[in-house]
Amino acid sequence: MSDSPGGNGNGVALDASSGPQIQVLAQYVKDLSFENPAAPMSLQGQKPALEVGVDVQARGLGVDQYEVIIRVRADAKAATQTVFVCELAFAGVFMLKGIQQENVQPLLLIECPRLLFPFARRVVADVTRDGGFPPLLLDPIDFAALYRMQVARQQGTQPQAMQA
């Protein structure tokens, strides 16, 4: 049985215009920094305390196109000494078609970062490994919980409009 282009493997052609669509147009490292200020002493096998922060931002680029950025900052300290600092801004450009306006922000701040996260995680792991440390493997992130916390913060203070 042969499939038509765009088929679903069952001989049925899929109509791309029939429903909501999220398309990843590009993904890239927007900014990356790794500091190892105490080297070579910091490479002597001590296990530093690690603090990791994650933020997600989105902005409109044009009709139905948005840039979503995951910012990760990892600080490793031993006593009062900074062992390493890793900062990453990993971004993607997404096209959203057929999405109702009230669903755009949750998609941009939950689903889009979920799609980008494995790639950002790999960059952080590679950079920390290349810096002389065991790879920092970030735990999975619940972007829905981050979104709910952001909405709660905004309701407690002045609402901040997302750049779209």
Q: Is there a domain that residue 13 lies in? A: no
| φ/ψ bin of 27: left (φ > 0), alpha (ψ from -120 to 50), beta (otherwise) | beta
Q: Is there a domain that residue 4 lies in? A: no
- Which CATH number characterizes residue 144's domain? 3.10.420.10
Report pLDDT digits (tens) over 3-31: 444 444 444 444 555 688 999 999 999 99
Q: What is the pLDDT of residue 20?
A: 87
Range of the domain at 103: 21-150
Q: Is there a domain that residue 46 lies in? A: yes
Q: Is there a domain that residue 16 lies in? A: no
C-alpha to C-alpha distances, 67 to 6, 28, 42, nearest whole angstrom: 26, 11, 36
Q: Average pLDDT in the 24-48 region?
A: 87
Q: Is there a domain that residue 103 lies in? A: yes
Question: Under a CB-based contact definition with an 8 Å cutoff, are residues 134 and 128 in contact?
Answer: yes
Helix (H, G, I), strand (E, B) or coil at 123: helix
Q: Is the pLDDT of residue 46 over 90?
A: no
112 or 152, greater pLDDT: 112
Q: Average pLDDT in the 71-98 region?
A: 94
Q: Measured between alpha carbons, how far is 101 from 99 in angstroms, rounded to an integer? A: 6
Q: Is there a domain that residue 135 lies in? A: yes
Q: Average pLDDT in the 79-95 region?
A: 94
Q: Average pLDDT in the 105-122 region?
A: 96
79 or 45, greater pLDDT: 79
Q: Is there a domain that residue 100 lies in? A: yes
In total, how many domains does the chain have? 1
